[in-house]
C-alpha cells in the first residue's frame, strides 16, 4: 500500500471472534437484549482505500452471513459503509458516511425504520491491537437523542496475513 492510502480501518484487518448484543425491540424503550456470537474477517480492497468485512452471525432466529463494504474518498476525507446480508440478498442498506476523529469513527445516514424516518449512527472504536467495538444507534427525533440498539465486541482470532 502506498502513502496515499487512508489507514483509518487498518485496525480491523484480520480475523475476529465477535460477541453481539442487540435490543430485541428497537425505538420502543426496551432494555431487553439478545446476546449471541459470530465471526468476522476483514481484508483491504481498492488498493487499500477500502475494505470488505465478511461476517457470520449466529442470530437467535437463525444464523446468516453478511458483508460490510467500506470505501474512502480522498477528495472529501469521508468513508462510506454499505451493509448487505443474505436475508435480503438484493438490497444494499443506505450507506452511513463519516470519518475518524481522535480515534473514534462516526458514520451517519438518513434511513427508515418500520416506515418512519430515522437517523442511523455507526461508531467504530479501536480499543487496542486485539479488541475493537462497533455500535449502531437510531434516532427518531432528528439526532437529538440516540438509542444504541446493536453492539459488536471484536476479539482478535488470528493474525492478518
Residue 161 is predicted with a pLDDT of 42
Residue 29 within any structural domain of the chain: yes
Instruction: Give the residue carrying C-alpha cell 488470528.
Output: 158
Please give the span between the terminal C-alpha atoms of the chain, in angstroms, as a whole number: 14
Residue 45 is predicted with a pLDDT of 97
Rounded-to-integer distance, Cα 14 and Cα 52, Å: 11
Please give the average pLDDT of every successive group of 10 residues along the chain, which has 161 residues.
Answer: 81 97 96 97 96 97 97 97 96 96 97 96 96 98 98 85 42
Regarding pTM above 0.95, the answer is no
Q: Which domain holds residue 14?
A: 10-158
Residue 158 is predicted with a pLDDT of 64
Residue 107 within any structural domain of the chain: yes
Residue 145 within any structural domain of the chain: yes
CATH number (domain holding residue 85): 2.40.128.20
* Number of separate domains in the chain: 1
Number of Cβ within a 10 Å radius of residue 9: 23
Number of Cβ within a 10 Å radius of residue 77: 11
Residue 1 is predicted with a pLDDT of 47
Residue 3 within any structural domain of the chain: no
Rounded-to-integer distance, Cα 68 and Cα 52, Å: 6
Rounded-to-integer distance, Cα 100 and Cα 17, Å: 23
Amino acid at each position: 500500500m502506498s502513502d496515499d492510502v487512508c489507514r483509518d480501518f487498518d485496525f480491523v484487518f484480520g480475523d475476529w471472534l465477535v460477541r453481539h448484543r442487540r435490543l430485541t425491540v428497537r425505538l420502543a424503550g426496551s432494555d431487553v437484549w439478545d446476546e449471541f456470537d459470530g465471526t468476522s474477517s476483514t481484508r483491504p480492497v481498492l488498493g487499500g482505500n477500502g475494505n470488505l468485512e465478511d461476517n457470520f452471525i449466529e442470530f437467535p432466529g437463525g444464523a446468516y452471513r453478511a458483508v460490510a463494504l467500506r470505501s474512502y474518498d480522498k477528495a472529501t476525507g469521508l468513508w462510506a459503509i454499505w451493509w448487505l446480508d443474505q436475508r435480503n440478498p438484493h438490497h444494499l442498506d443506505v450507506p452511513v458516511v463519516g470519518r475518524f476523529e481522535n480515534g473514534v469513527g462516526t458514520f451517519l445516514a438518513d434511513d427508515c425504520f418500520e416506515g418512519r424516518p430515522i437517523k442511523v449512527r455507526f461508531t467504530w472504536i479501536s480499543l487496542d491491537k486485539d479488541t475493537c467495538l462497533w455500535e449502531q444507534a437510531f434516532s427518531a427525533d432528528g439526532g437529538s437523542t440516540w438509542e444504541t440498539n446493536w453492539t459488536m465486541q471484536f476479539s482478535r482470532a488470528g493474525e492478518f496475513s
